[in-house]
Structure 1
Amino acid sequence: MARVLVCLEEAGAEYEIVPMSRSGGDHRQPDHLARNPFGEIPVLEDGDLTLYQSRAIARYILRKYKPELLRADNLTESAMVDVWLDVEALQHETTVGPIVVNCIIYPFEGRGRDQKIIDEKIEKMKKLLEVYESRLSSSKYLAGDFISLADLSHFPVTRYFMATEYADLLDAYPHVKAWWVTLLARPSVKKVMAGMPPDFGFGSGNIP
């Protein structure tokens, strides 16, 4: 959901958040399943259009309100945005996500964390960060010297990774760390992050 909210904030679009609770089973109610048959959050309703999948929603919002974050008017730059969006979805999320799940979500659910998986993903993340470090040593942002959805899409899972005991891993990659600090300074990210408790809300019981 954070990915979508950051895009809405970047676009300056008006929106309303309808609270839902996974712990309360709201996502499995028939009315929500009619909007998203996979029972996932978020869902965007815009007039007669209903969308699910946060990355698809993010692209829709930016196409409609702020296409410059997709570099839609430049074939080469938009292609680089697409490259790094794919890297985020297929490499970054699949590497960092399991670390976050094991370090934050499972303990609050009363499940044991799988240290073997964590260790394997940390080693993979180190190799991944080498690629990011190389890229960011030659350009300020991932797709080029311009902010884009390729950067913003990394925010949600990285925010939670930085709440784990492995956060200092980024210190070994100064260009990646500087890029992350730059993202955190954006007003859109600051606003959305303020509503993202580092424990996913498990501590308070307010689980989105």
Structure 2
Amino acid sequence: MFSFWNSLTNTDKIQIIAIIFSSLLSFISVCIALATLKQNSKITLDSNRAYIVFYIDKNRTEITYNLILKNFGKTGGRLISLELDPPIDYKKSNINVNLKTIADYTNIYLAPGQSIKSAFDFRNYPNTTLNISIKYETCGKIYSESYVIDLDYSKSILKSSPQIKDTTDALKHISENIREVSDKLS
């Protein structure tokens, strides 16, 4: 083999080395292109899939909380399971009705941006910390997520109402509230 190499001219040796390096560079370029395509496919799937989330929200004007199941994604998704530990039950709340909560239902399809709400009264409820496990299907794949919801945070939120003394003061508070809503919408 060395005799073959030694029999070649310097120009032939340079051309063979250039061919080897260009082949190696081509192979590396193909590998990089395949990795990029795979990553782009994953990014596209992640940006377009459903993101189904269960959360609890409280409106300032209402006594009850809202149990909310919402799809924040760009594609529809089907809820496979939603487990709350400990499970919540209307019979333990001040509502005391014989109904299932939305956490007890499965196989719910949620379109992009769609949500389902249900009222629940957590006043005097024995459990304020809930471990959430949610499993849903979207774009042909199954996703599972787990997180904790602690409702004790609501006890540390301060609420204030304006002290209105006269008409001018009332108009000032109305103007401030309109400005606040306008800032949030813009």
TM-score, reference length from structure 1 = 0.21
Greater relative contact order structure (CA < 8 Å, 6+ sep):
1
Question: Which structure dedicates a bigger proportion of its chain to strand?
Answer: 2
Query: Which has the greater radius of gyration?
Result: 2
Question: Which structure dedicates a bigger proportion of its chain to helix?
Answer: 1
TM-score, reference length from structure 2 = 0.23
